[in-house]
Structure 1
Amino acid sequence: MSLKISENRIKEMTTAGLNLIGQALSIYDNQLRLVQCNFRFQEMFDLPDDLVRPGARFHDTIHFLASRGEYGKVEDVDEMVRQRVEQALAFEPHYMERVRPNGQVISVEGAPLPNGGWVAVYTDITRTKQDEDLLRARSEELSEQLLGRAEELSATNRKLAATITALEEAKRQLTEIEARTRLTTEMMPAHIAHLDADGRYDYSNRRLSSVMPGRPSDILGLHISEALGSVAFQRVEPHLQRAYKGKISVFEFTEDRDARRLRVSFTPDEQGGVYVMSVDITEETQARVALQQSRRRAMAAQMTSGMAHDFSNLLTIILGMQSRLEKMDLPDGAHELVSATQATAQRGGQLLNRIADMTGNRTPQPKATDMRGLLEDLRILASPSLPRGMGLSVVNNLPDQAVMLDPGMVQDALLNLVLNARDACGSSGQITISAHKIGSIWTEITVSDTGPGFSSEALEKALNPFFTTKGSGGSGLGLPMVYDTVKLAGGDLSLRNTPSGASVVLRLPYRPALLAQEGLVLLVEDSDDLRSQFREMLIDLGFSVIEATSAEEALVLAAEIDEIVLVLSDIRLEGPGTGLDVLNAIRPGLACILMTSLPYSDPLHRKALNLAPVLRKPFSQEQLSALIRTEAA
């Protein structure tokens, strides 16, 4: 809040200072849109209010002046305006003098700005020109009056020089403020921009493409619908219109190209425009989903553990009594009833075991996994369970790169789906497992079959525990266990019917495993002793090392040094930032390993496990090397 007040105060003081300058002044950006001007600029050229507001186009201002006769008689106004715009886009220093239609003589001096655009100063030199003419006309009869005028002119020139010096200092300060503000915003892991009243970008920190890959980085002058694309614009437009009506709007939506989850804030300003901030929260959402599932499982375990214990005791009593009955001399048909009761009780015991598996301590253990090998092993494992007339094929379109996931849990889930598909198809049919990557965010695995498909009731309830379409042959826990596995990993599961049958789609976070590499490592650790120890480990492994003790220091180094290939960071750090803040803000594609001595129950540790590999302290050089250089499970 204090930063915003300070910036507003600076803006007010800058505007007030510029209005005190005797010359007219205007500043345009690299898209020829007005950034700042003073009151003398509007007064000198008698401009309407809409041409002196920030964002006004240079083209419109020149067209207005030319149409009014500011540049004399012009045969083709549009051609003249086009030439002026082309000259302006060259951003070259210039100085010129011209006589306006009202007889006023002005000088125009323009200087380019470091980031594109320019500042222009317009000075009324009519009196100076009159004095020059007088000197020429009366060069032979110099008088006391002329000498006085010369002295007056000299004083005026001194005042003008002082004004120009002040103007140059104001220009320098404006440039410095702009550069500092731009550097700050470009370092942030978010897209920050401003839209004018027409929905066009007049400011951007050039990070749209990092938040929404495939979009352009240079978006100044573009309408928001052009920059985002039609599908994404349709999702944000209602919220944008709300902001244009003066109401702050914060919302989330899933981007269409690679299913990223984005959080967008629209904040109206006082000039009819809107400030925009967009943040990629995909990993945050994945961690949130995993944490929510863990909490649900903990609640389910708490609710069912007591009931399961009592029910297990009852089943034990029933089985014991049936065993005693079996030894008695019973009438005909009684033994069959005893056997049926025993089988049912045993089935109840198996159901209790399934419930325990669902609600027990199932902690994902991600490690570098070769998906090609995992899917091939699954095909070999599942094939003997299929009828002769049923085929099982695997289509793997994932990159040939190890990914971080729990191979045991994923293989168990896929095997469960294959066996469900087998039961749906009967004695013949085709089961297909296909895998591919969605952008750089998701691994999508689909198990499809040529069976009758899901009924409408199954599509609605199949993920509910104990719902089954197999009658007495099913427990109704198969798909809920698969759903549980996917959610624990921060992913999602969906059911759908296809023209040839049914399919179950699993989406898991796509996290490539770290491959063997050498280069510069950024080590972030606030303990001097531990930092020295870890530095020696990394040097022994062949890496060069630079060090930081806080998240803020680490982010500055990561932004300035392109040669960094790996970040090794503690979770808890000096200052308010954490290792998770470092991970979320580093440039895309830069590998990161987190380390901690926090217990697994700590929320930061649990969240970190869903974002990156985590080393538990203390660890050995061999453990660090294995995690950095592993190529497959």
Structure 2
Amino acid sequence: MIVENSRAELMQSGLNLIGQALSIFDSDLRLAVANRQYQAMFDFPDALTRPGTFFEDTVRFLALRGEYGPDEDPDEAVRLRVDQARTFQPHYLERLRPNGRWISVEGAPLSQGGWVAVYTDITEAKQQETLLRARSEELSGQVLENAERLAAANRELASTITALQEATRVVTETQARTRQVTEMIPAHIAHIDRDQRYVFSNRQLPQVFPGTRTDILGMTVAELLGPRTYAEVEPHMERALAGRHQVFEITHAESGRRIRIALTPDRSGNGVYILSTDVTAEVEVREALTHASRRELAAKITSGLAHDFGNLLTVILGLQDRLARGALPEAAKADVQATLAATRRGVQLLERIGQIAAPRGTAREPVRLAALLRDLCALARPTLGDSVTLHLESDLPDEPLLLDPGHLQDSLLNLILNARDALGPPGGDITLSARAAPPWLELELTDTGPGFTAEALARATEPFFSTKPGQGSGLGLAMVFDQAKLAGGTLHVGNRSDRPGAKVRLRLPLRPVRPQMILLVEDDDSLREMLREMLIRLGHSVIESASLAEARGLTDLPGLTVILSDLQLGDGLGSDLASADGPPLILMTALPQGDGLRDAAPCPVLSKPFDAATLTETLQQVIHD
């Protein structure tokens, strides 16, 4: 089976055997295909026969050489022919070239856009016609012979045209098939010339780099990607243009996606082929597997050592406590207290290993984040010392957000203390900024310290990796990473671009809490009271009902947005409250999955018991639906 590039070479060889000149320009007025006779007939330089050449450049070259007549204005000739090409119509014409030879030009549009043009040298036929006219009387005896020769030439020409038409059809179908296949691939495939200008694209760039455009032919890589992304790509692009294959990954700053880029030098030396793929999911899975394996290792370590380590710490604590109660010199008492502090730190370390081995779940609740961040900074400042200044920059909405405040405070405090340690004795500035960037809540911590080393950037979130041997546990950033993933967010560790210093960006899903008016229907008084308190704690207004009959009279209250009802009430089924015109319904039940009554419910069903996070998620789901 012939591979695609072999087919292309085979086709090009076939086109080169045709006696006529042929060119195909695409819908962007750029050269797609040309045979050797095309260059030979018009004596084009190599630059004008390469795929991607602009039609305007070709016409200007011919106009300046006088191809369209000595008296015609070259600029006007270019403008006229480019305008005609944009609204291309089938045509046939004959014209005399400056070198004294006659050519016929036959053009036809292609269904995929663009057109094919065939150029035939008809000088000999024209000379025969002129000779026949000038010597019609003298050559009357030769008319029949020349006519036969001309007829034979015409038949040969017709045969060639037929073959050329078939070749054109094959080229057109192959081009259309190739474009269709490449546009179905979930990756961006492109070709750039030596000036890094796009000459081919499968129009999939926005699927890989969100926010970019599809019509990129003629643009440079730098123009398209912007200075920040291009700065990462440029060194690899230069090496590829020098003939070296390149495969590398970058993080697209605007979208946070991880992109793998493969650069393959064009064997003819005319540029580089590009394959760009979004590997964000692959990287996340890879990181998750890595962290999972490390957590598994931590769990095994904890399981194997926790018992003996706990017993050892208990013995040490008991002995030191006994010593502390005895009559000891002041220096010995200080040693005892230091030993007790170290032992308690060992207990904390054991607990933290257990946490990273099996992270706790989230407990989301409505949080006024601006106030939480102010309180956090007030809490953290006394621990930073006089040489460190903590700044808070907040651009957050006034409405509460659905977050796990405990996880968030732990994560941010961990980052602040890490930044303090990185600043060291000289001190410096730490800045915590927060903003809403839908669909994300972005929290960014920067400092004016030395920044992360290359090794720290590569291993920052690995459990047990620390840049402070003998001091840190190496679990801080790993725990922040795990908590971010658990909340559906991301953690990005890097260095500042404007000055020395580290930059850590925490992204969490932006979930604004919009208070609802909820009709709560529950015939168990104690359970109804507990649910009412849970809903009020989440920021909602609650109307209560203890029966189905009472609830039916409340479903048309103005402003009512959700009904939360037990499935089985004392006087009927809560599912009877479902209405196409009424508020959305959520049912609660202790019936197991697969129960017929539960499966017949026309709305979401919560399994009792449930927590505030599960209730909030279900409320958000029905409200947005």
Alignment of 1:100-499 (within 5 A): 100-133=97-130, 145-272=142-269, 273-303=271-301, 306-321=304-319, 332-333=327-328, 341=336, 345=340, 348-349=343-344, 351-360=346-355, 373=367, 375=369, 378=372, 395=394, 397=396, 409-410=407-408, 412-414=410-412, 434-436=433-435, 443-446=441-444, 481-482=479-480, 485-486=483-484, 490-493=490-493
1:227-249 residue CA offsets vs partner (Å, 9 max, x unmatched): 22233333222211111111101
1:82-127 residue CA offsets vs partner (Å, 9 max, x unmatched): 4333333333322211112343221101122334332110122334
Calculate the TM-score normalised by the size of structure 2: 0.64
Q: 1:39 to 1:631 in 2, by over 3 A?
A: same
- Which residue of the partner structure matches residue 12 of structure 1? 9
In the TM superposition, what is the alpha-carbon distance from 1:40 to its structure 2 partner?
Answer: 2.0
* Contact residue 289 and residue 490 of structure 1 kept, 8 A: no
| Secondary structure of the structure 2 residue equivalent to 1:116 | coil
1:133-165 residue CA offsets vs partner (Å, 9 max, x unmatched): 566667889956433443443443333333323
- Which residue of the partner structure matches residue 68 of structure 2? 71
1:479-519 residue CA offsets vs partner (Å, 9 max, x unmatched): 664355347765235698999xxx9965345667899xxxx
In the TM superposition, what is the alpha-carbon distance from 1:398 to its structure 2 partner?
Answer: 7.3
In the TM superposition, what is the alpha-carbon distance from 1:306 to its structure 2 partner?
Answer: 4.5
Q: 1:160 to 1:497 in 2, by over 3 A?
A: closer
The more displaced of 245-254 and 52-61 is 52-61
1:446-479 residue CA offsets vs partner (Å, 9 max, x unmatched): 469xxxx8876999999888999xx9xx999766
1:54-73 residue CA offsets vs partner (Å, 9 max, x unmatched): 33343443343334443332
Letter in 2 for 1:62: V
Q: 1:6 to 1:367 in 2, by over 3 A?
A: farther
Q: 1:629 to 1:170 in 2, by over 3 A?
A: farther
Letter in 2 for 1:224: V
* Contact residue 185 and residue 205 of structure 1 kept, 8 A: yes
Letter in 2 for 1:81: V
| Secondary structure of the structure 1 residue equivalent to 2:69 | coil
Letter in 2 for 1:97: E
Aligned pair partner of 1:50 in 47, 51, 56: 47
In the TM superposition, what is the alpha-carbon distance from 1:263 to its structure 2 partner?
Answer: 2.0
Letter in 2 for 1:285: V
Letter in 2 for 1:358: I
Q: 1:385 to 1:14 in 2, by over 3 A?
A: closer
Q: 1:422 to 1:285 in 2, by over 3 A?
A: closer
Alignment of 1:559-574 (within 5 A): none
CA distance in 2, matches of 1:222, 1:59: 16
Q: 1:374 to 1:353 in 2, by over 3 A?
A: farther
Q: 1:294 to 1:399 in 2, by over 3 A?
A: farther
CA distance in 2, matches of 1:461, 1:98: 71
Calculate the TM-score normalised by the size of structure 1: 0.63
Identity %: 47
CA distance in 2, matches of 1:483, 1:280: 22
Check if 1:629 corresponds to 2:624. Answer: no
Letter in 2 for 1:206: R
CA distance in 2, matches of 1:233, 1:392: 32
- Which residue of the partner structure matches residue 62 of structure 1? 59
- Which residue of the partner structure matches residue 505 of structure 2? 507
In the TM superposition, what is the alpha-carbon distance from 1:364 to its structure 2 partner?
Answer: 6.2
CA distance in 2, matches of 1:132, 1:458: 83
Q: 1:457 to 1:268 in 2, by over 3 A?
A: closer
- Which residue of the partner structure matches residue 34 of structure 1? 31
In the TM superposition, what is the alpha-carbon distance from 1:374 to its structure 2 partner?
Answer: 6.7
Alignment of 1:612-623 (within 5 A): 622=605
* Contact residue 367 and residue 401 of structure 2 kept, 8 A: no
Q: 1:432 to 1:57 in 2, by over 3 A?
A: closer
Structure 2 residue ranges without an equivalent (≥5): 383-388, 424-428, 514-602, 607-613
Q: 1:461 to 1:267 in 2, by over 3 A?
A: closer
Q: 1:354 to 1:484 in 2, by over 3 A?
A: farther
* Contact residue 369 and residue 401 of structure 2 kept, 8 A: no
* Contact residue 260 and residue 276 of structure 2 kept, 8 A: yes
Q: 1:399 to 1:115 in 2, by over 3 A?
A: farther
Q: 1:68 to 1:393 in 2, by over 3 A?
A: closer
CA distance in 2, matches of 1:420, 1:251: 30
| Secondary structure of the structure 1 residue equivalent to 2:143 | helix
In the TM superposition, what is the alpha-carbon distance from 1:301 to its structure 2 partner?
Answer: 4.6
The more displaced of 101-110 and 481-490 is 481-490
* Contact residue 416 and residue 478 of structure 1 kept, 8 A: yes
In the TM superposition, what is the alpha-carbon distance from 1:23 to its structure 2 partner?
Answer: 1.7
In the TM superposition, what is the alpha-carbon distance from 1:196 to its structure 2 partner?
Answer: 1.3
- RMSD between aligned residues: 5.2
- Which residue of the partner structure matches residue 97 of structure 1? 94
In the TM superposition, what is the alpha-carbon distance from 1:407 to its structure 2 partner?
Answer: 7.0
Q: 1:456 to 1:393 in 2, by over 3 A?
A: closer
Q: 1:261 to 1:353 in 2, by over 3 A?
A: same
Letter in 1 for 2:120: T
Alignment of 1:501-540 (within 5 A): 507-508=505-506
Letter in 2 for 1:124: D
Q: 1:76 to 1:504 in 2, by over 3 A?
A: closer
CA distance in 1, matches of 2:80, 2:349: 78
Letter in 2 for 1:409: H
Q: 1:498 to 1:21 in 2, by over 3 A?
A: closer
* Contact residue 367 and residue 400 of structure 2 kept, 8 A: no
* Contact residue 23 and residue 123 of structure 1 kept, 8 A: yes
* Contact residue 192 and residue 204 of structure 1 kept, 8 A: yes
Higher relative contact order (CA 8 A, sep 6+): 1
* Contact residue 484 and residue 507 of structure 2 kept, 8 A: no
| Secondary structure of the structure 1 residue equivalent to 2:47 | helix
CA distance in 1, matches of 2:89, 2:393: 62
Letter in 1 for 2:189: I
* Contact residue 308 and residue 352 of structure 1 kept, 8 A: no
* Contact residue 398 and residue 435 of structure 1 kept, 8 A: no
The more displaced of 151-160 and 620-629 is 620-629
CA distance in 2, matches of 1:498, 1:37: 50
The more displaced of 130-139 and 219-228 is 130-139
CA distance in 2, matches of 1:75, 1:458: 66
CA distance in 2, matches of 1:243, 1:419: 43
Q: Which has the higher Rg, Structure 1 or Structure 2? A: 2
